[in-house]
Chain A
Amino acid sequence: MAHEYECFVRNFSDLQEGSTVVLTLRSLSPGRRKYNARVVRARVSRLVEAGSDTLWARCMVGAKDPQPWSVQVIDELGPTVSGQPYSDIFDAMERLAPDARAGD
């Protein structure tokens, strides 16, 4: 069953066709657990086929990219990441994807 998610990115350009990235994936499935989040390593693509999970990207002011991505979760990284209070979550997630490159 296909799921729908959203994520926040520092810049929309942080997502590139075919790239593998570490994201905080937020569920958009209806119900009480809507918006619950987890950290994943995933591959994203602009090609959204029937049956694939859909990902919507929002920037840091909450504006939504009108074009969706398809997302394929490669690794579940847990609900949280290592870091001290007030440190940058985007930097922390980037450190978990040392091999993430466009076109991977």
Chain B
Amino acid sequence: MATLPEPVERLLESALVGELTVVNPAGRPVTYPLIPLYDGEKVYLTSSTLFSRKLEHIKGNPKVSVSITDPIAVGGRTDRATIQGDARVIEDDPHGGWERLLPIWEKKEPAIVYFLKERIALPLFFERALIEVTPRRALYWASGSATAAPVVTEVGKEAA
């Protein structure tokens, strides 16, 4: 099974927020801060239908990246990573299908369970699709600084 380098996995697990970048029809990168959820193999993100333009972009071009750059969002760690991968939008059940990721989400954002109980107040926020990212390549900066070249790992292959 293809796996990400261990420090990249730790970053994904600790990150309260990362950046999902998709490519729009004009070929421009569009970046969305989102909570990355990692199950040990794939990276998941969820998107409300309210903010679903990113889903349109992914359906048009599945090549995406997820970056972890904010030391404040990872409990003070200073290393950084970008994971490139192929994304798939899972929307069989936008009403509740995403809730299978609730346990991982709750670990990062405990308040989400409370908000979900108040679904009546903001019903469309909880109509959500899942974005499943299969990692293809990881770029890792141990120092966090772009002045050093990243360690590049083709996922499932030897580190470059």
Do A and B assemble together? no
Instruction: Give chain A's interface residues, CB within 8 Å of chain B.
Output: none
Instruction: Give chain B's interface residues, CB within 8 Å of chain A.
Output: none
